[in-house]
């Protein structure tokens, strides 16, 4: 069995049908059917259960699918690495970031582009669940994110480069005249005001970290809204609906009037930040050099 046949097999497994797989591979159906038959004869097992035109992976097929995807990824990454030995640092670098870490990218990209002007970027924004899926599919190489990285694949799947921690700050409406003129606020004071919490169905780490800090002072925040979008929460604060707690660097991403950022007294808690990539993925030259801009 060769690399070409593995590609055929994976496409058939993905499409669940020879006709659709052949169309995806830009080839005729009979040759693809023959290749599948040859693979099954070589291995001495059925890879698919047939039900009309639909194909369902057998247990042997499921095992081959998981191993074949990994082998093909390693093969493609090796080819890229070999080509880059003489090609220098160029091509497209695809990276991901949670919205609360977007502010960490512009300066790094600017510095990187001065050194490596032939590299272009594709940036995807999303929560941990989406970024984990994009890493797994090799649609992105690196993800700039809050830690811990919450993924259903498990932490052992990822390599992590920690970055300097980011202090949490209170974000309040400037219309709250009683405290808007202050430079700091305590957790006890915050507990007296309506509170907006950043939380999604898949990522709850930041929400739990903030709630834990309230409980550490035996306080209960008045949560009136849970929201998955930083931009929406900041807009709600600007409208005077409530206050929130966010990492300090987040606020540099939003030039929104009518809000005030206050340091938090009686609490010393940080938001951990890092760059994440697949542990078994061989990073491209451009990804390694971009990573170095954060840790150099």
What domains are there in the chain, each with its CATH number?
Answer: 3-71 (1.10.10.10), 88-164+273-293 (3.40.190.10), 166-269 (3.40.190.10)
State residue 77's pLDDT score: 67
State residue 268's pLDDT score: 74
In b/e form, how buried is each residue of 200-230, taking b as 16+ CB within 10 angstroms?
A: beebbbbbebbbebbeeeebebebeeebeeb
pLDDT at 199 over 90: no
State residue 266's pLDDT score: 74
pLDDT at 213 over 70: yes
pLDDT at 85 over 80: no
State if pTM tops 0.75.
no
Q: Six-digit token pair at 268?
A: 């010393």
Average pLDDT over residues 24-36: 92
Interatomic CA distance for residues 240 and 242, integer angstroms: 6
Average pLDDT over residues 107-121: 92
pLDDT band at 203 (very low <50, low <70, confident <90, very high): confident
Which is more confidently placed, 86 or 122? 122
State residue 141's pLDDT score: 95
pLDDT at 106 over 80: yes
pLDDT at 193 over 70: yes
Number of Cβ atoms within 10 Å of the Cβ of 36: 19
Percent of the chain at pLDDT > 90 equals: 60
Beta carbons of 120 and 93 less than 8 angstroms apart: yes
| 240-291 pLDDT per residue, tens | 999 999 999 888 777 788 999 999 997 778 889 999 999 988 888 889 999 9
Q: Six-digit token pair at 238?
A: 């600007």
Number of Cβ atoms within 10 Å of the Cβ of 59: 10
pLDDT at 118 over 90: no
Written in H, E and C, the secondary structure of the chain is CCHHHHHHHHHHHHHCEHHHHHHHHCCCHHHHHHHHHHHHHHHCCCCEEEECCEEEECHHHHHHHHHHHHHHHHHHHHHHHHHHHHHCCCEEEEEEECHHHHHHHHHHHHHHHHHCCCEEEEEEECCHHHHHHHHHCCCCCEEEEECCCCCCCCHHHEEEEEEEEEEEEEEEECCCHHHHCCCEEEHHHHCCCEEEEECCCCCCHHHHHHHHHHHHCCCCCEEEEEECCHHHHHHHHHCCCCEEEEEHHHHHHCCCCCEEEEEEECCCCEEEEEEEEECCCCCCHHHHHHHHHHHC
pLDDT at 87 over 60: no
Average pLDDT, the chain: 89
């Amino acid at each position: 069995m060769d690399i070409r046949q593995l590609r055929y097999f994976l496409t058939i497994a993905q499409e669940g049908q020879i006709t659709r797989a052949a169309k995806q591979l830009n080839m005729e159906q009979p040759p693809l059917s023959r290749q599948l038959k040859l693979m099954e004869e070589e291995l001495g097992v059925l890879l698919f259960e047939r039900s009309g035109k639909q194909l369902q992976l057998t247990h042997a097929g499921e095992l081959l699918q998981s191993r074949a995807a990994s082998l093909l990824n390693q093969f493609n990454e090796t080819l890229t690495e070999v080509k880059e030995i003489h090609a220098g640092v160029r091509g497209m670098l695809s990276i991901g970031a949670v919205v609360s870490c977007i502010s960490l990218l512009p300066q790094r990209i600017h510095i990187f582009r001065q050194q490596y002007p032939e590299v272009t970027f594709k940036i995807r924004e999303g929560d941990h669940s989406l970024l984990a899926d994009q890493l797994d599919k090799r649609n992105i190489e690196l993800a700039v994110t809050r830690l811990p990285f919450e993924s259903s694949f498990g932490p052992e799947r990822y390599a992590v480069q920690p970055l300097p921690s980011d202090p949490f700050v209170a974000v309040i409406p400037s219309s709250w005249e009683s405290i808007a003129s202050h430079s700091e606020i305590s957790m006890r004071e915050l507990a007296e005001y309506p509170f907006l919490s950043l939380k999604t169905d898949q990522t709850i780490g930041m929400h739990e970290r903030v709630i834990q800090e309230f409980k550490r002072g035996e306080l209960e925040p008045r949560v009136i809204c849970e929201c998955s979008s930083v931009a929406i929460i900041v807009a709600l604060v600007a409208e005077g609906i409530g206050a929130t707690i966010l990492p300090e660097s987040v606020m540099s991403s939003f030039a929104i009037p009518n809000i005030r950022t206050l340091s938090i007294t009686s609490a010393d808690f940080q938001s951990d930040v890092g760059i994440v990539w697949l542990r078994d993925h061989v990073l491209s030259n451009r990804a390694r050099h971009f990573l170095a801009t954060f840790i150099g």
